Amino acid sequence: MPDDTATILLLGATGQVGHELTRTLAPLGTVHTPDRATVDLTAPASLRRAVADLEPGLIVNAAAYTDVDGAEAEPERAAAINAEAPRVLAEGARDAGAWCVHYSTDYVFDGTKRTPYTEDDPPNPINVYARTKRHGEEAIRDVGGRYLILRTSWMYSHRRSNFVRTMLRLAEDKDRLTVVDDQIGVPTWAGWCAEATTSICDRLLTADDTSQAGIYHLTGTGQTSWYGFSRAIFAQFGRTDVTVEPVSSEEYATAAARPAYTVLDASRARATFNLPDTSWAAQLANFREDVASMDGTLEALGAS
């Protein structure tokens, strides 16, 4: 483990993964988490100033424009946050000789494959959000230097808007729900993602092996549909009284198209960084235990 003099710049500390990272990254050094009033992701000058002032050894960008449907109406804002900001951070990291760790998404793939996507599969995003995230990947890659792009998927936590919280809130008012069953992916608990990211960052700061730079997939193992995920959620949280019925994507219209299959093969990251082989179902069980440790009730999911 690196000494406690490491300076870490964490963007997006109020988000799902970012909030967890404030805790997990702390043993690696001093974590700086500037708020939006200090660092504006849509203003490159403020990003450059933050990096120049701190001279960090590690930049972790957990900030993103994540509203998939909203991006269709706000493409310029989505591009500023998801594509331009990562480029500026990568340039700052390169100039400072720092590592830049950035999160991307399974949605960079078009979903036409029916076996898990590897890092070598060509991206082909089918909506505005996904295109801006892919442009962010390309920008970081083109800048070069010490960088890691971690693609993850179907994120949930006790914070912000996510599928788990939505399902449990809907179940408070309804005992019968319909959920899409023809979109397949890998649910990821933010707590697990933060722990895995921190393990990776520890190795990067200790070994400083630039041969490890590049794109990695970061999810658990297994796969499910939104329908299957919803049933697992209700089982974990003791809501077996809720009936869930499967529907097709065609019956559930959204502003942005969703890829049908975005299961990520994360074996490269597990092998390179010695990460645990944890299934998505085990992550959900661990998340339920984490919620229980807060106050033992579903009210723990009410944090904003």
User: Tokens representing 17?
Assistant: 């993964």
284, burial (CB in 10 Å: exposed 0-12, middle 13-18, buried 19+): buried
Count of helices and strands (H, E) across the chain:
11, 12
Contacts of 303 (CB under 8 A, 6+ apart): 158, 159
Of the candidates 224, 239, 243, the one whose C-alpha atom is nearest the C-alpha of residue 282 is 224
Residues 6+ apart with CB under 8 A from 259: 106, 107, 109, 110, 111, 112, 126, 130, 183
Over its C-alpha atoms, the chain yields an Rg (Å, rounded) of: 19
In which region does residue 222 sit, left (phi positive, over 0), alpha (psi from -120 to 50) or beta (all else)?
A: left
- Tell me whether residue 227 is one of the annotated catalytic residues: no
Instruction: Spot the catalytic one: 129, 156, 216, 227.
Output: 129
Q: What is the four-CA torsion angle of 279, 281, 282, 283, rounded to 10 degrees?
A: 90
The residues assigned a catalytic role are 129
